[in-house]
Amino acid sequence: MSLSTQEHPFAEFIKILGKGKKGARPLTQDEAYRAMQMILADGQVEPIQLGAFLMLMRVKEETCEELAGFVQAARESFAFQSNVAVDLDWSSYAGKRRHLPWFLLSTLLLAENGIRVFMHGAGGHTQGRLYTENALHALGIKSAISIADASEQLAQDNFSYLSLEYICPKLYDMINLRPIMGLRSPVHTLVRLLNPFDATASLQGIFHPSYRQVHQKAALLLGQKQMAVLKGEGGETERNPDVECLVQSVSNGELYDETWPALFERRHMKAEDMDPQLLAQFWRGEFNDEFGEATLIATAAVALKLLGKADDQEQAQQLATRFWAGRNRQRF
């Protein structure tokens, strides 16, 4: 890093966030947009500046305007345009540690019934979690390794998973700073809203309930037509049937809040075995798991209602149940 008495252009944004209790303020959407533009460009931000910026944002937490600005800049940085029509964008960044990733079966069930699902995520940034890419590998499902590869998989199978590494390498590097920083950063939030293929609808899961409304309002600012966010099991995009689930959504410029009921009176214990190959065995009907079945059906139901395939919760639940009963058990 070269030393100079002239103030660095990126210092503007660090000053806004770091002036202390009375002087600091959130970034406007335009400021957040310009800051992320610089971060994602080559050589415009020093590593020490990036670390300071990310941690200042972490301490104060992102506003919906900041999140919208970050996402706008990230999307504009993509070196590709979507060339395949996608119905549902599904983010998967948290990883699972208490229960198997039943939501993967939800996405495959939707794909089997003609709904084109694109999933993106990143794995390995937090110890002790089972990440989607590893679970898919255990199921014999090959992750895409490029946008072209993902497009081909979507056209053939109605499903594709592509790591953030191949969508935006700089964001991927930033999300993997977590072990160094010891904390998540705004990147963990903004990547859930990327919707790289411009899908008709987007479904997101968060862990901290306070972020639910931030996602919802950021999606509105970004002009996303159909989007829903829920507090997912373990932070993944997965409805937990043991508890009431508040889904906050955007539909054609309007904000909606909807509560889905708990499906069990008592909570289920943490899974004893997190072997993802159990998902394939369960799909084939080789054993029963009431929590797993309820989870995958309930999660698919939220997606079906978001997509307009059902008029209300009951219809969505019934349709998802029919899909599950009629699944191709030889899928795995």
Residue 114 in this model has a pLDDT that exceeds 90: yes
pLDDT computed for residue 182 by the predictor: 83
pLDDT computed for residue 5 by the predictor: 77
How far apart (Å, rounded) are the C-alpha atoms in residues 155 and 82?
12
Residue 269 amino acid letter: M
Least confident of 80-89, 138-147, 255-264: 80-89
Least confident of 173-177, 279-283, 322-326: 173-177
Within 13 A of 214's CA, how many CA atoms are on the CB side?
23
How far apart (Å, rounded) are the C-alpha atoms in residues 52 and 186?
12
Taking each helix axis as running N to C, give the angle between helix 313-325 and helix 290-306, from 0 to 180 degrees, rounded to the nearest 10: 120
pTM: 0.94
Instruction: Quote the mean pLDDT of the chain.
Output: 93
pLDDT computed for residue 183 by the predictor: 81
Identify the CA nearest to 227 among candidates 236, 235, 237: 237
